[in-house]
């Protein structure tokens, strides 16, 4: 029966109905593909205004073509093409539309402080843990000076050991005026502290417990050193030496720890949300806080390298430290730029649309 | 096709679908997404780390050569020694800042771009996306990349420093276990998220890029001498009856489409023979492609007509 030929009308032969559907719309699809390809290559500026304005319209055309084609066409290649094109266009139409600059402005203009206020409970817990860590450090060393060597790592324990004379300790606080190499020192400090605080944040993933341990360990060092200087009557000088950058740096570490704790707490107690969703919401909020923490650490490193080494008087140092503390507190808790409207706008931007 | 082979094909379709997810757009259109395979993600990571190391190495080399020049200048000139020291210090600052940025900002910068992918991910054809189908926001990208520090860099740095000291004690075992927990994390959840994806609410999907291919049924005019010899308006060379078309369904149609697109003579021949046997035609030779094109077009016309009536036939068993 091979070669069974029967005449048919040319209209019936012309094309399938689904092919005519495709031929009528092909041009739009290909125009969208060209626009999407240009944007993906980062050549947004080279597109004409017409093309940019056409993007959402063409996206909807392709999306509706896709849903019609799914019901009427069995051309697998065309369906796959439409699915891939609709997906690529979807990523652009519903992608992050803010530029880095606009995002940064929104971030500094309220997004950051909003996120810090949202994790208020975690900040309080982290603060309590840090204070407790310092107290424990002090008490341990006060009960037995041998603890000092166990708590304080070698890099801080050069001359600053139990039994050191007042002059030696004073020298560590005031010896460095006019030294060169300060900016390299600042950059090193920043890079180091930033990695530590990123770690404090990221460890929150394990339900926040390692974050708390990291906080306790670090502030225990502080408590031990405070005890050492207190023994020689240098308490205020030590606090001044620390406060210049310490109010900023400790605040940053506090926020990093709180951010980690926030994630850990939302995963341990997700409430009536699924754990995965709770973790994601907390994670995004904490990421905002962490971006700010990195900025704060830049400030802290600059303060540590320059004013602390260049300003020699305890009074001056305390003033700078106190000023920075008031500045941060005002920024986070007192100033609410744009009032309630901008705050809720940002909160809704944080939630998934 | 025997039953074992058919079973294997079915199984193949099923195992592929465990990576498939449906995303509903605001227009109410279901877009299928395919999760990236773990292999391509690992490949992307290795590529990215290579790029980072290369850039770090290059930057370090450039800065060292500049520093060398400055040092020579400082040794030669007598009055400019202080300036040269400042220049060296500035170079050190640049180096520390650059290393910090390469380590932390590389992933951020690229994943915030329109393609949502680092160069390594682009090469392996994957990208990141928001798990809930919403916008991919800067917060998500930041969160998923901050976690990278404890997942990857921390244990690796720790292992490297433990290896230097020569004491592979309990600490490095712990670091290795730590590393394994995070490295194996994507194997223990169905969406193949790593810890950073979980925290950020993202996942990694394939970013398919397809060209619009010629329709097998409409584009006969563009297919070379054989069809050019035959006027386009002419009747199909083969015509099949209702009984001959009703044996196959959509799955077989798509297989046929794929075979036609690949256009390999031996598979065309096999499919041709299989169809002839199934519909009880005598097996001829020399005209397989034309036969298959006609069969494809008419089968598709029949199945699509059925679709419009609300009747669908998934495969030959339906």
Partner-chain residue, chosen from B112, B208, B237, that has the shortest CB–CB distance to A96 = B112
Judge if A84 and A108 occupy the same domain: no
Q: What pLDDT does A297 receive?
A: 84
**Averaged pLDDT of chain A:** 78
Q: Tell me the chain A residues in contact with residue B31 when contact means C-beta distances shorter than 8 Å.
A: 83, 86-87, 90
Q: What pLDDT does B216 receive?
A: 67
Q: What pLDDT does A96 receive?
A: 63
Contact A84, B210 (CB under 8 A): yes
Q: Is residue A4 part of a domain?
A: no
Q: Is residue A132 part of a domain?
A: yes
Chain A 114-153, residues with CB within 8 Å of chain B CB atoms: none
- For residue A6, pLDDT over 50 is answered with no
Q: Is residue A10 part of a domain?
A: no
A138-162 CB burial, b ≥16 within 10 A, e <16: bebbeeebebbeebbeeeebeebeb
Contact B257, B216 (CB under 8 A): yes
Partner-chain residue, chosen from B25, B215, B237, that has the shortest CB–CB distance to A90 = B25
Residue A336, φ and ψ in degrees, nearest 5? -130, 80
Q: What pLDDT does B245 receive?
A: 83
In this prediction, residue B306 has a pLDDT band, given cuts at 50, 70 and 90, of confident
Residue of chain A whose Cα is closest to the Cα of B130: A352
Reading the block at residue A320, the tokens are 């700078």
Q: Is residue A7 part of a domain?
A: no
Q: Say which range, A99-108, B200-209, B298-307, has the weakest mean pLDDT.
A: A99-108
Reading the block at residue A283, the tokens are 């994670």
In this prediction, residue B52 has a pLDDT band, given cuts at 50, 70 and 90, of very high
Q: Tell me the chain B residues in contact with residue A186 when contact means C-beta distances shorter than 8 Å.
A: 93
What is the tally of structural domains in chain A? 2
Distance between alpha carbon B25 and the CA centroid of its chain, in Å? Answer: 21
Q: Is residue A8 part of a domain?
A: no
Point out the domain boundary residue: A41, A59, A93: A93
Contact A189, A198 (CB under 8 A): no
Judge if A186 and A273 occupy the same domain: yes
Neighbouring-strand partners of residue B34? B20
Share of chain A above pLDDT 90, in %: 3
Chain A 41-60, residues with CB within 8 Å of chain B CB atoms: 42, 44, 60
Name the residue among A197, A202, A200, A199 with its Cα closest to residue A293: A197
Share of chain A above pLDDT 70, in %: 79
Judge if A89 and A215 occupy the same domain: no
Judge if A32 and A106 occupy the same domain: no
Residues in Cβ contact with A88 at an 8 Å cutoff, skipping those fewer than 6 apart: A36, A40, B207, B209
Mean pLDDT of A191-212: 76
Distance CA B153, CA A308 (A): 32
Q: Is residue A285 part of a domain?
A: yes
A100 vs B132, residue with greater confidence: B132
Mean pLDDT of A218-246: 82
Q: What pLDDT does A108 receive?
A: 86
Note the pLDDT tens digit of each residue in B181-239. 888 888 888 888 888 888 888 889 888 777 777 766 654 433 333 333 344 444 567 77
Point out the domain boundary residue: A70, A93, A116: A93
Share of chain B above pLDDT 90, in %: 9
Q: What pLDDT does B101 receive?
A: 83
Beta strand ranges found along B188-276 (DSSP E): 202-206
Task: Give the burial class of A101: count Cβ atoms within 10 A of its Cβ; 0-12 exposed, 13-18 middle, 19 or more buried.
Answer: exposed
**Averaged pLDDT of chain B:** 77
Q: Is residue A6 part of a domain?
A: no
Q: What pLDDT does B58 receive?
A: 93
Neighbours of B258 (CB within 10 A): 14
Q: Count how many Cα atoms sit within 13 Å of the Cα of residue A108 in the half-sphere of its side chain.
A: 8
Judge if A148 and A47 occupy the same domain: no
Contact A352, B134 (CB under 8 A): yes
Report which DSSP code applies to B205. Answer: E
pTM: 0.72
In this prediction, residue B119 has a pLDDT band, given cuts at 50, 70 and 90, of very high
Judge if A201 and A238 occupy the same domain: yes
Reading the block at residue A130, the tokens are 């840090």
Note the pLDDT tens digit of each residue in B55-66. 999 999 998 888
Q: Is A158 helix (H, G, I), strand (E, B) or coil?
A: coil
CB pair distance less than 8 Å for A276 and B198: yes
- Min Cα–Cα distance to chain B from A240, Å: 27
In this prediction, residue B78 has a pLDDT band, given cuts at 50, 70 and 90, of low
Point out the domain boundary residue: A93, A111, A143: A93
Judge if A85 and A161 occupy the same domain: no
B208 vs B276, residue with greater confidence: B276
A140 vs B8, residue with greater confidence: A140
Neighbouring-strand partners of residue B205? B35, B127
Distance CA A151, CA A141 (A): 9
Q: What pLDDT does B221 receive?
A: 37
Note the pLDDT tens digit of each residue in A282-315. 888 888 888 888 888 888 877 877 766 677 677 8
Judge if A113 and A80 occupy the same domain: no
**Residue for token pair 């849903």:** A67
Mean pLDDT of B70-81: 65
- For residue A271, pLDDT over 70 is answered with yes
Q: What pLDDT does B231 receive?
A: 42
Residue of chain A whose Cα is closest to the Cα of B114: A40
- For residue B4, pLDDT over 80 is answered with no
- Min Cα–Cα distance to chain B from A231, Å: 36
Instruction: Classify strands B202-206 and B20-24 as parallel, antiparallel or unpaired.
Output: unpaired
Mean pLDDT of B254-258: 87
Q: What pLDDT does B47 receive?
A: 94
Note the pLDDT tens digit of each residue in A41-62. 877 778 888 888 888 889 888 8
Judge if A173 and A48 occupy the same domain: no
**Residue for token pair 């926001």:** B137
Chain A 334-353, residues with CB within 8 Å of chain B CB atoms: 349-350, 352-353
What value does the CA radius of gyration of chain B take, rounded to a whole number of Å?
30
Q: Is residue A182 part of a domain?
A: yes
Mean pLDDT of A14-25: 76
SS3 content of chain A, % helix, strand, coil (to 5): 80, 0, 20
Name the residue among A176, A177, A173 with its Cα closest to residue A314: A173
A275-293 CB burial, b ≥16 within 10 A, e <16: ebebbbbbbbbbbbbbbbb
Share of chain B above pLDDT 70, in %: 81
What value of ipTM does the predicted structure carry?
0.73
Judge if A136 and A224 occupy the same domain: yes
Judge if A34 and A149 occupy the same domain: no
Reading the block at residue B308, the tokens are 């419009």
Judge if A75 and A190 occupy the same domain: no
- For residue B54, pLDDT over 90 is answered with yes
CB pair distance less than 8 Å for A74 and B26: no
Q: Range of A68's domain? A: 15-93
């Amino acid at each position: 029966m091979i070669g069974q030929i029967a005449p048919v009308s040319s209209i019936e032969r012309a094309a399938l109905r689904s092919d005519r559907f495709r031929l009528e719309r092909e041009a739009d699809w290909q125009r969208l593909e060209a626009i999407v390809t240009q944007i993906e290559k980062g050549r947004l500026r080279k597109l004409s205004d017409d093309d940019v304005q056409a993007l959402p319209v063409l996206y909807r055309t392709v999306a509706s073509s896709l849903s019609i084609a799914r019901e009427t066409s069995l051309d697998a290649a065309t369906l796959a093409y439409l699915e891939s094109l609709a997906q690529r266009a979807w990523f652009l139409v519903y992608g992050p539309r803010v530029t880095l600059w606009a995002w940064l402005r929104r971030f500094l203009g309220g997004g950051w402080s909003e996120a810090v206020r949202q994790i208020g409970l975690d900040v309080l817990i982290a603060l309590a843990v840090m204070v407790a860590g310092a107290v424990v450090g002090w008490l341990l060393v006060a009960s037995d000076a041998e603890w000092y060597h166990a708590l304080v790592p070698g890099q801080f324990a050069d001359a600053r050991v139990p039994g050191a004379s007042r002059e030696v300790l004073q020298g560590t606080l005031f010896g460095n005026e006019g030294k060169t190499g300060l900016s390299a020192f600042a950059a090193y400090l920043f890079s180091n502290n930033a990695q530590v605080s990123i770690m404090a944040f990221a460890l929150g993933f394990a339900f926040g417990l390692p974050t708390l341990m990291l906080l306790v360990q670090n502030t225990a060092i502080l408590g031990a050193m405070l005890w050492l200087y207190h023994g020689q009557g240098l308490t205020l000088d030590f606090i001044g030496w620390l406060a210049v950058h310490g109010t900023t740096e400790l605040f940053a570490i506090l926020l990093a720890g709180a951010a980690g704790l926030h994630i850990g707490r939302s995963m341990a107690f997700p409430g009536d949300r699924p754990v995965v969703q709770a973790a994601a919401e907390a994670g995004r909020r904490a990421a905002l806080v962490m971006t700010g923490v990195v900025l704060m650490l830049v400030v802290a490193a600059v303060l540590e390298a320059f004013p602390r080494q260049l300003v020699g008087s305890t009074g001056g140092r305390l003033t700078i430290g106190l000023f920075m503390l008031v500045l941060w507190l005002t920024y986070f808790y007192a100033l609410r730029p744009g009032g309630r409207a901008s705050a809720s706008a940002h909160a809704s931007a944080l939630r998934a649309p | 096709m025997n039953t074992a082979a058919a079973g294997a094909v079915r199984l193949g379709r099923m195992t592929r679908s465990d990576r498939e997810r449906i995303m509903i757009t605001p227009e109410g259109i279901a877009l299928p997404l395919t999760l990236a395979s773990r292999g391509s993600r690992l490949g992307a990571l290795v590529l990215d780390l290579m790029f980072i190391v290369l850039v770090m190495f290059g930057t370090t080399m450039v800065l060292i050569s500049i520093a060398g020049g400055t040092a020579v200048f400082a040794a030669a000139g007598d009055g400019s020694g202080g300036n040269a020291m400042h220049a060296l210090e500035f170079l050190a600052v640049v180096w520390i800042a650059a290393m910090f940025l390469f380590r932390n900002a590389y992933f951020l910068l690229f994943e915030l771009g329109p393609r949502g992918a680092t160069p390594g991910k682009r090469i392996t054809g994957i990208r990141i996306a928001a798990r809930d189908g919403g916008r991919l926001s800067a917060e998500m990208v930041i969160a998923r990349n901050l976690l990278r520090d404890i997942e990857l860099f921390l244990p690796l740095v720790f292992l490297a420093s433990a290896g230097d000291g020569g004491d592979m004690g309990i600490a490095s075992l712990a670091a290795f276990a730590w590393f394994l927990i995070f490295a194996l994390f994507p194997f223990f959840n169905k969406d193949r998220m790593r810890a950073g994806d979980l925290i950020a609410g993202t996942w990694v999907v394939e970013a398919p890029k397809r060209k619009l291919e010629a329709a097998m049924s409409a584009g006969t005019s563009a297919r070379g001498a054989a069809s050019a010899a035959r006027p386009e308006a002419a009747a199909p060379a083969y015509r099949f009856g209702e009984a001959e078309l009703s044996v196959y369904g959509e799955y077989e149609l798509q297989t046929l489409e794929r075979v036609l697109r690949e256009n390999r003579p031996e598979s065309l021949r096999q499919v041709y023979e299989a169809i002839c046997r199934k519909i009880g035609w005598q097996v001829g030779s020399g005209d397989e492609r034309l036969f298959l094109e006609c069969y494809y077009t008419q089968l598709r016309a029949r199945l699509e007509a059925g679709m419009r009536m609300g009747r669908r036939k998934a495969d030959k068993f339906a």
